[in-house]
Amino acid sequence: MGYRNMQECLLALEEQGQLVRIREEMEPNIEIGVVQRRVFQAGGPALLFENVRGTRFPMVANVFGTLDRVRFLFRDTLGLLERLFQLKVDPLVALKQPWKYLKTPLALYNTMPKSQPGGPVMAHKTTISELPHLKSWPLDGGAYVTLPQVYSESPNKPGFGGSNLGMYRVQLTGNDYQPDREVGLHYQIHRGLGHHHSEALAKGESLPVNVFVGGPPAMTMGAIMPLPDGMPELFFAGALAGHRMQMVKRPGQLPILAQADFCICGHISARGEKPEGPFGDHLGYYSLAHDFPVLTVDAVYHRDGAVWPFTTVGRPPQEDTMFGAFIHELTSELVPTVFSGVHEVHAVDAAGVHPLLLAVGSERYVPYAEERRPQELLTNGMALLGTSQTSLSKYVLIAAREDDAHLSAHHIPEFIRHMLERVDLTRDLHFVTRTTMDTLDYSGISLNQGSKLLWASCGPKRRTLAVTPPSDLSLPPGFSDLRVFAPGILVVRGPAHKRGRDEHDPLMNRLANALDKSGGLDGFPLVVCVDDAEFTARDWDNFLWVAFTRSDPATDMYGAGAFTHCKHWGCTGPLVLDGRLKTYHAPPLEDDPDVERRVDALGAPGGPLHGII
């Protein structure tokens, strides 16, 4: 069955030739993170760093670095989980082929954690200062845990059934934290730990929290699994692992994962936050320093032979991309059971995941109408914006399966083309303003606040998308380098942004008015203004990253022939999206040239990474 701890996992990877040992001393400050990213980009093996400066504990990276490796880790249970999900989709399927479902009761049995009085993780005590201190990017505010499993239980419903397991950033050093006594705990809104903290605050109590590092790989996957409210991630981890999770029960204290490599035990006091960050994050920018709860450390445990798993995050694709791909494989058939009328969703990794969600739904509300128009699609889109992880989405683009039975949200150029061919810009754009948004997205009007756009288009093609702009198109002063990125999409370089937060830019209105006067742009319904047109138009990854991570729908959308009618906004000409870096945005991540050169040397002939990077 599945691996019970990280040691079993690494042994299996090494036997398969999927793990390389690095015996040279490595620096956890920037260098080791650069190595991890380089090897991931090369599709290389897992890396066991046996000699890490400043700590006695080895570190391991890229355990989840390829989709094939992730499938290998969970090969014993994937088939059984798929059959469980099939039962969710169609409960009668077991009657048709009952022999395939004989082991499903075992999977359900494995969801229940197993309590025990002790475990390997309790063998030794250590301190925060003795742990590996990974710093991933030059401007990071300190060291932090990049693959934590943060465990808490509901104060109103204690026990495994009321538990939450999440992957929240845990800052170990830096800022104003008392060494060895305090660590930062950055949890985003919409997350289960926040619900537990709210309950504790209402009671005037501190909230016990345990941070597991390492242990069964299924626990890491469980910590990032987007499960419905009320379904404990700990239960899913047991089903994925193929065995019950062993939990050390201690009277009056929070349980500890018995097979973890490390456990940081602590509590969040009823009141008191401290600045956490900045840190490079998965949108490709730094998340800046903000006040977040403080975890007071009560004890730090580790097992014999403990290994510290880590990754780094940055502009996609990174190792966490593999998590998303694996989750999609595992759950794609469940989408219609969670969102009625939705057949497929795709949180676009290249756009930072949460900023852009593509979806295919049904449009069946008025089948007798002469022309199909968005109605059921709007219901579907609102459901996506109001449920679970998809509620973090900033742009939701949803198309009707009835228009093209072969349309897929995972074929991005074809999907965008389909939407642009059908969009009615006077009708199809629906904004939600002054609402909550992803904590890590700095394009909004304040931390955790911005807008969302639901773009729903369906029906017959309205236009043929153009690939050549009008020869007489005149741009206002300050705008230049007009490029055709894709059929129907123009990219133009604009002047540097100089406005404040929560303000429209008159320069963008000037561009929209110029496009309106020029005419001849019926085949180009989308114009994106950027800082570097050549970079943005180089490929789809660059375009998606720039356009959707650097814009807030309500603030940064303009239009040729724009109008507002009874509070509905639309435009008669091209939609203009401001994809420039704003004065209030967090800075993008940039490599340290000196460290990059040192890592280059590791890949040279005779170096430990020769032939890998």
pLDDT averaged over consecutive 10-residue blocks of the chain (613 residues)?
Answer: 92 97 95 97 97 98 97 90 62 49 68 95 98 97 97 95 94 96 86 88 94 98 85 91 95 96 94 91 94 96 98 95 91 80 94 96 87 93 88 96 96 98 98 92 92 97 95 93 98 97 96 93 97 98 98 98 97 98 96 94 90 89
pLDDT score of 28: 97
pLDDT score of 408: 97
Query: What is the spatial distance between Cα 599 and Cα 423, in angstroms, rounded to a whole number?
Result: 48
- Picking from 427, 485, 492, the residue whose alpha carbon sits closest to that of residue 456 is 427
Count CA atoms within 13 Å of residue 44 on its CB side: 21
608's tokens: 């430990």
Query: What is the spatial distance between Cα 509 and Cα 479, in angstroms, rounded to a whole number?
Result: 12
Residue 165: enclosing H or E segment and its boundaries? strand 163-166
pLDDT score of 90: 47
pLDDT score of 1: 63
* Alpha-helical regions (H) of 408-468: 412-422
Domains located in the chain, CATH noted: 6-73+111-310 (2.30.110.10), 333-457 (3.40.1670.10)
pLDDT score of 94: 44
Distance, C-alpha 441 to centroid of its chain: 11
Full DSSP string of 502-535 = T---HHHHHHHHHHHHH---TT--EEEEES-HHH
Residue 596: enclosing H or E segment and its boundaries? helix 593-602
pTM: 0.92
* 8 A C-beta contact, residue 276 and residue 288: no
Distant-in-sequence contacts of 475-482, Cβ < 8 A, 24+ apart:
475/511, 475/514, 476/507, 476/510, 476/511, 476/514, 478/507, 479/511, 479/529, 481/533, 481/534, 482/533
* 8 A C-beta contact, residue 35 and residue 602: yes
Secondary structure (3-state) at 268: strand
Give the residues across from 247 on adjacent strands.
Answer: 115, 257
